[in-house]
Every structure is written in C-alpha cells, then in structure tokens.
Amino acid sequence: MDLGLTGKKVLVTGGTKGIGRSIAEIFVAEGAVVSLCARNAEEVAQAVMTLGHCTIGTALDVADTAAVQAWVAHSAAELGGIDIVVPNVSALNVNRDAVAWKAGFDVDIMGTVGVVDAAMPWLEKSDAASIVIISSVSGREIDFAYGPYGAFKAALIHYAQGLAFHLAGKGIRANTVSPGNTYFPGGIWQQVEQGMPEFFAQAMAMNPTGRMGKPEEMARATVFLASPAASFITGTNLVVDGALTRGVQF
C-alpha cells in the first residue's frame, strides 16, 4: 500500500528513542522529511546522522513553550511547511504527588498543546494535514499508572477528538494511538525488569500474547493514521496493545 507520504513534512517530538524514534524512522522510509526534537543534544545529533539527509533535529524541552514555538517555526522554514504533527513526549511519571502532577501537565498536556498550536498556521495550508497524539492504554483503563499519568493520557484522547470535530471543516485530521506495554533497550520496561523483577513478571503475565509490544509496532499504526491513506479516519483512538486491555470500545 502506498501511504502517500513522499515529500510530506513531519514533526515528531521525543524522536530519538523508543516509539518516537521508530515513528521517525518509518516516516523517512516512506519518503517523508522529518524534524524531530528531544532533550538530549547528543541523542538528537545521533538520530539525525543515522536517519540521514531527510531529517533535522533540535534539542529542547517540550515544557518550554517558547522553545517549542521556535522549533516549529524553524522546522517549517527548513522543510518548506508542515503536514503532520506527532506529539509523542511524556513525563512518564507514575507517582501521585504534586511534583508528578505538575510534570505531567507541563509535558504531556502543554507539551502537546504547544506543538499543535504552533504548527496550526502551516497545517491549515496543507492538503494532507494530520495530527496523531501518542496516548496510552492507561488513559482508558485503570492500572498501576492511575493518577497523573493515566489522567493526562485520557485527557489527550479527549483533546484529539475535540480537535478532530472542530478542525474537520479545515481538512485537518486528529487521532490518537494508545500503545500497550512497549519494551525496548533503555526504556521504562527494561528499567522495571532490572530494578523491579517481581513487578515486571506481574506486568508480563497480563499480556495475553506472552510479550510486550515493540516500538515499531506502535510506530506503524501511528504512521498509517497520519498518512493520506487514512484520509477519512479522524477522531479515533487506536489501541495497539496485543489484547492487553479488556474494556470494549464502541
């Protein structure tokens, strides 16, 4: 299937590792040009070098609204516009204290809203405008991440569906992808495996497939939803979890 992504201009936050990195890789493989960001400058440089000439990168914290606005404007100038935005960064804070709530709001919520708002003038000019926000299964079911992480992931689904309804007339689509447990070297689940083996075993036992997901499995779903091949899909939340969750979506 031709996803129609050749020459499309894409922004990916948190694009240096895990799901975000796989998203950037697949977009490039499909012929898109990508601007990615992440906090670590060395990791940004390495990602850009590996992904090749179709990629540019900037080191920034998405909680810094001014930095996000500058990155988006620079990306649009360098790429020649913006067609697709993928807000992927999360504070990944599953604590339930005031610090965790603030970090989750600043990064998960405002980091997403900031990049979407900043990109909107260019999305409005695109003939294939699409927003795909990375949420989580923790946003639709109560699990160990109840509290700020789950609450904000649920809020992102609501936010995206609101965007989909209000922007449909402008030809801008908005969807979310909700990954289940995703394992990759250096990721949160590897850290849990090494530091909390009993909890890791419990988490593994919850996966009917007998394994956790891979970043590229989440990324393929994201890239498809973002692409012109999914041109009539908007306002949906795509769960990619290997049957981990048990709630029924109607």
Catalytic residue of the set 9, 22, 126, 149 = 149
Active site residue 153: yes
Q: Which of 140, 151, 149 is nearest to 100 (CA)?
A: 149
CA 13 to mean position of chain CA atoms? 7
List CB contacts of 70: < 8 A, sequence separation 6 or more. none
- Measured between its terminal Cα atoms, the distance across the chain in Å is 27
Alpha-carbon distance of 89 to 86, in angstroms, equals 9
Give a three-class secondary structure readout of 67-78. HHHHHHHHHHHH
Catalytic residue of the set 90, 126, 135, 138 = 135
Active site residue 136: yes
Point out which residues pair with 179 in neighbouring strands: 240
Active site residue 130: no
List CB contacts of 192: < 8 A, sequence separation 6 or more. 199, 200, 203
What radius of gyration do the chain's Cα atoms show? Answer: 17
Which tokens hold the place of 42? 């060395």
CB contact at 8 A, 137 and 239: yes
Catalytic residue of the set 17, 130, 153, 178 = 153
List CB contacts of 120: < 8 A, sequence separation 6 or more. none
Alpha-carbon distance of 171 to 78, in angstroms, equals 24
Active site residue 75: no
Residue 89 vs residues 83, 138, 156, 231, 234: alpha-carbon distances, Å: 19, 15, 12, 25, 21
- Catalytic residue ranges: 135-136, 149, 153
